Structure 1
Amino acid sequence: MNYITLDKLVEDLNLEIIYASDDISQVKINKSDVNRPGLQMAGYFEHFAFERLQVIGTVEWYYSNSLEEKIRVERMRKIFSYPIPAVIISRGLPVFPEMLQFAKEKNVSIFRTGISTTKLINVLINHLDYVLAPEMTVHGVLVEVYGLGILLMGQSGVGKSETALELIKRGHRLIADDIVEIKRMEDEIRGVCPEIIRHFMEIRGIGILDIERLYGVGSVKSWGFIDLVIQLEYWDENKEYDRVGLDEDYTEILGKKIPKLVIPVRPGRNTATIVEVAARNTRQKLLGYSAAREMDKRVKSEIERRKKETQGH
Structure 2
Amino acid sequence: MAYLSVQNFYDGMKDQLKLSLITPTVPLTRKIHSPEIHRPGLAFSGFYDYFAFDCLQILGKTEIRFLKKLQGHARRVNLGRFFSFRIPCIIVSKQQSVPRDFLEQAVRAGIPVFRSPFRTARVASQVTVFIEEASAPEASIHATLVDVYGVGTLLLGKSGVGKSECALELVERKHRLVADDIVEIRVENHELIGRSNDVLHHHMEIRGLGIIDVRAIFGVGAVRNRKRITLAVTLEHWKKEREYERLGLEGQEYELLGMKVPHLIIPVRPGRNIPILVETAALTQRLNKMGANPAKEFNQRLIQSMGSAAQAGNGLET
What TM-score results when the alignment is normalised by the length of structure 2? 0.87
Whether 1:113 aligns to 2:116 is: yes
Tell me which amino acid in the other structure corresponds to 2:58: V
2:205 corresponds to = 202
CA distance 1:239–1:68, change in 2 (3 Å): closer
CA contact (8 A) 2:33 2:55 kept: no
Structure 2: distance between partners of 1:18 and 1:199: 43
Q: CA deviation at 1:67?
A: 4.3
Alignment equivalent of 2:243, drawn from 236, 240, 245:
240
1:13 corresponds to = 13
Tell me which amino acid in the other structure corresponds to 1:2: A
Whether 1:50 aligns to 2:53 is: yes
Q: Which moved more, 1:198-207 or 1:138-147?
A: 198-207
1:220 corresponds to = 223
Q: How many residues align structurally? A: 312
CA contact (8 A) 1:73 1:98 kept: no
CA distance 1:82–1:266, change in 2 (3 Å): same
CA contact (8 A) 2:233 2:263 kept: yes
Structure 2: distance between partners of 1:238 and 1:105: 70
1:102 corresponds to = 105
Q: Which moved more, 1:264-273 or 1:14-23?
A: 14-23
What TM-score results when the alignment is normalised by the length of structure 1? 0.89
Task: Give a deviation string over 1:81-136, Cα, whole Å, max 9, x none.
Answer: 33211111122323333333222222221112233212222222222222323333
Structure 1: distance between partners of 2:63 and 2:220: 45
Tell me which amino acid in the other structure corresponds to 2:158: Q
CA contact (8 A) 1:91 1:115 kept: yes
| Structure 1 gap ranges (5+) | none
SS for the counterpart of 2:275 is: helix
CA contact (8 A) 1:76 1:98 kept: no
Q: CA deviation at 1:233?
A: 0.9
2:176 corresponds to = 173
SS for the counterpart of 1:252 is: strand
CA contact (8 A) 1:20 1:108 kept: no
Q: CA deviation at 1:276?
A: 0.9
Whether 1:31 aligns to 2:34 is: yes
Q: CA deviation at 1:152?
A: 0.5
Structure 1: distance between partners of 2:62 and 2:161: 60
CA distance 1:251–1:37, change in 2 (3 Å): same
SS for the counterpart of 2:143 is: strand
Q: Which moved more, 1:51-60 or 1:129-138?
A: 129-138
1:299 corresponds to = 302
Q: CA deviation at 1:69?
A: 8.5
1:269 corresponds to = 272
CA contact (8 A) 1:3 1:131 kept: no
CA distance 1:303–1:51, change in 2 (3 Å): closer
CA contact (8 A) 1:136 1:182 kept: yes
Structure 2: distance between partners of 1:60 and 1:107: 21
Tell me which amino acid in the other structure corresponds to 2:21: I
Q: CA deviation at 1:278?
A: 0.4
Q: CA deviation at 1:271?
A: 1.5
Structure 2: distance between partners of 1:114 and 1:215: 45
| RMSD (Å), alpha carbons | 2.4
Structure 2: distance between partners of 1:194 and 1:16: 32
SS for the counterpart of 1:195 is: coil
